[in-house]
Chains A and B, each alone.
Chain A
Amino acid sequence: MKSQGFDAGSISGNVQIEAQSYTPDSLMGAPVVDEKILSNAFVNLIYRNQGVEIGFRYENYLNPILGFDARLKGQGVPYRYITYREDKFEITGGDFYEQFGSGLILRAYQEVALGIDNAIDGFRFKLRPVDGVEFTGLIGQNRVFWAKGEGIIRGGNLNIELNDLFPELMPENYRFTLGGSVVSKYQPDRDIFLKMPENVLAYSARAGVISNDFAIDAEYAYKYNDPNATNRQKYNIGQGLIVKSSFYGDGIGVALNAHWIDNMDMRSDRNARAQELFLNFIPPLTKQHAYALTSLYPLATQFNNEAGIQLEVTYQIPRGSAIGGKYGTMLTFNYSDVFTIDTNNIDEFTYNSKFLGIGNKRYFRDINLEISRKWSNKFKTDATLLNIIYDRDVMENEGAPLYGSVFQNVIVMDAQYMFDNGHSLRGEFQHSWSVQDSAIIEPENMNGNWAHLLVEYTIAPSWYFTVYDQFNYGNDDPDRRIHYINGSIAYLTGTTRLQVGFGKQRGGIICVGGICRAVPASNGVFLSLTSTF
Chain B
Amino acid sequence: MNKINFIFAFFIAFAIIGCDIVEPPYRKGGDITPVDTTKKKVLLEDFTGFRCGNCPEATHVAEMIANQYPGRVIVIALHAGPLAVPTPIRRYDFRTQETNELATFYGLIATPYGLVNRRQYVGQNLLAPTAWGGYVQEQLNVDADLKMYLETDFNESTREISLQVQLEYLRQGNVNHNLAVYILEDSVVQYQQDDRQPAIHISDYVHNHVMRGSFTGTWGLPVSDVAVSAGSKLTVPFKYTISSERDWRPSKLSLVAFVHDNTTKEVIQVEQIKLFKE
Chain A residues proximal to chain B, CB less than 8 Å = 34, 69-71, 73, 129-130, 133, 135, 137, 144-150, 154, 156, 158, 180, 182, 184, 186, 190-201, 203, 224-225, 227-229, 233, 235, 269-274, 349, 397-398, 400-402, 441-443
> A199 with B122: in contact, given A193-B28, A274-B110 (CB under 8 Å)?
no
Of the listed stretches B133-141, B151-159, B166-174, B252-260, name the one at the interface; the rest are far from the partner chain: B133-141
A192 near B19: Cβ-Cβ < 8 Å: no
Report the Cα distance A149→B122, complex, angstroms. 7
Chain B contacts with A in 117-171, Cβ cutoff 8 A: 122-124, 126-131, 133-138
A193 near B27: Cβ-Cβ < 8 Å: yes
A-B contact pairs, 8 of them (CB 8 A): A133-B4, A137-B10, A182-B15, A190-B134, A192-B133, A195-B26, A229-B128, A271-B127
> Chain A nearest CB: distance from B251 CB in Å?
33
Chain B contacts with A in 1-33, Cβ cutoff 8 A: 3-4, 7, 10-11, 14-15, 17-22, 24, 26-28, 30
Residues of A within 8 A of B107 (CB): 69-71, 73
Chain B contacts with A in 49-99, Cβ cutoff 8 A: 53-54, 64-65, 68, 87-90
Residues of B within 8 A of A274 (CB): 110
A443 near B21: Cβ-Cβ < 8 Å: no
Report the Cα distance A474→B146, complex, angstroms. 62
Question: A350: nearest residue on chain B (CB-CB)?
Answer: B24
> Chain A nearest CB: distance from B23 CB in Å?
9
Question: A66: nearest residue on chain B (CB-CB)?
Answer: B109
Report the Cα distance A486→B256, complex, angstroms. 49
Report the Cα distance A492→B27, complex, angstroms. 61
A192 partner, pick from B7, B15, B127, B134, beta carbons under 8 A: B134
Chain B residues proximal to chain A, CB less than 8 Å = 3-4, 7, 10-11, 14-15, 17-22, 24, 26-28, 30, 53-54, 64-65, 68, 87-90, 104, 107-110, 122-124, 126-131, 133-138, 193, 195, 198-200
Question: A129: nearest residue on chain B (CB-CB)?
Answer: B3
Report the Cα distance A401→B133, complex, angstroms. 29
Report the Cα distance A130→B7, complex, angstroms. 12
Residues of B within 8 A of A198 (CB): 20
> Chain A nearest CB: distance from B151 CB in Å?
32
B18 near A147: Cβ-Cβ < 8 Å: no
A203 near B15: Cβ-Cβ < 8 Å: yes
Question: B113: nearest residue on chain A (CB-CB)?
Answer: A273
Question: B197: nearest residue on chain A (CB-CB)?
Answer: A400
> Chain A nearest CB: distance from B90 CB in Å?
8
> A130 with B3: in contact, given A73-B107, A192-B68 (CB under 8 Å)?
yes
Question: A397: nearest residue on chain B (CB-CB)?
Answer: B53
Residues of B within 8 A of A225 (CB): 21-22
A190 partner, pick from B30, B124, B137, beta carbons under 8 A: B137
A398 near B28: Cβ-Cβ < 8 Å: no
> A71 with B126: in contact, given A192-B30, A274-B110, A441-B89 (CB under 8 Å)?
yes
A398 near B54: Cβ-Cβ < 8 Å: yes
Question: A199: nearest residue on chain B (CB-CB)?
Answer: B20
B89 near A191: Cβ-Cβ < 8 Å: no
Report the Cα distance A353→B135, complex, angstroms. 33
> Chain A nearest CB: distance from B122 CB in Å?
4
B131 partner, pick from A137, A158, A200, A271, beta carbons under 8 A: A271
> Chain A nearest CB: distance from B13 CB in Å?
10
Report the Cα distance A229→B126, complex, angstroms. 14
A193 near B24: Cβ-Cβ < 8 Å: no
Residues of A within 8 A of B10 (CB): 137, 156
B133 near A191: Cβ-Cβ < 8 Å: yes
Residues of B within 8 A of A398 (CB): 53-54, 195
A145 near B123: Cβ-Cβ < 8 Å: yes
Question: B110: nearest residue on chain A (CB-CB)?
Answer: A274
Question: A186: nearest residue on chain B (CB-CB)?
Answer: B18
Residues of A within 8 A of B14 (CB): 154, 156, 182, 184
Report the Cα distance A200→B68, complex, angstroms. 28
B19 partner, pick from A135, A184, A273, beta carbons under 8 A: A184
B18 partner, pick from A69, A154, A441, beta carbons under 8 A: A154
Report the Cα distance A461→B71, complex, angstroms. 71
> A228 with B130: in contact, given A144-B123, A194-B28, A400-B195 (CB under 8 Å)?
yes
A147 near B124: Cβ-Cβ < 8 Å: yes
Report the Cα distance A225→B193, complex, angstroms. 31
> Chain B nearest CB: distance from A122 CB in Å?
15
B108 partner, pick from A34, A70, A442, beta carbons under 8 A: A70
B27 near A402: Cβ-Cβ < 8 Å: no
Residues of B within 8 A of A145 (CB): 123-124
> Chain B nearest CB: distance from A512 CB in Å?
18
Residues of B within 8 A of A133 (CB): 3-4, 7
Residues of A within 8 A of B110 (CB): 274
Report the Cα distance A50→B134, complex, angstroms. 49
Residues of B within 8 A of A191 (CB): 28, 130, 133-134
A224 near B89: Cβ-Cβ < 8 Å: no
Report the Cα distance A191→B53, complex, angstroms. 23
B26 near A349: Cβ-Cβ < 8 Å: yes
Question: B8: nearest residue on chain A (CB-CB)?
Answer: A158
A402 near B88: Cβ-Cβ < 8 Å: no
> Chain A nearest CB: distance from B215 CB in Å?
25
Residues of A within 8 A of B108 (CB): 70
Residues of A within 8 A of B138 (CB): 190
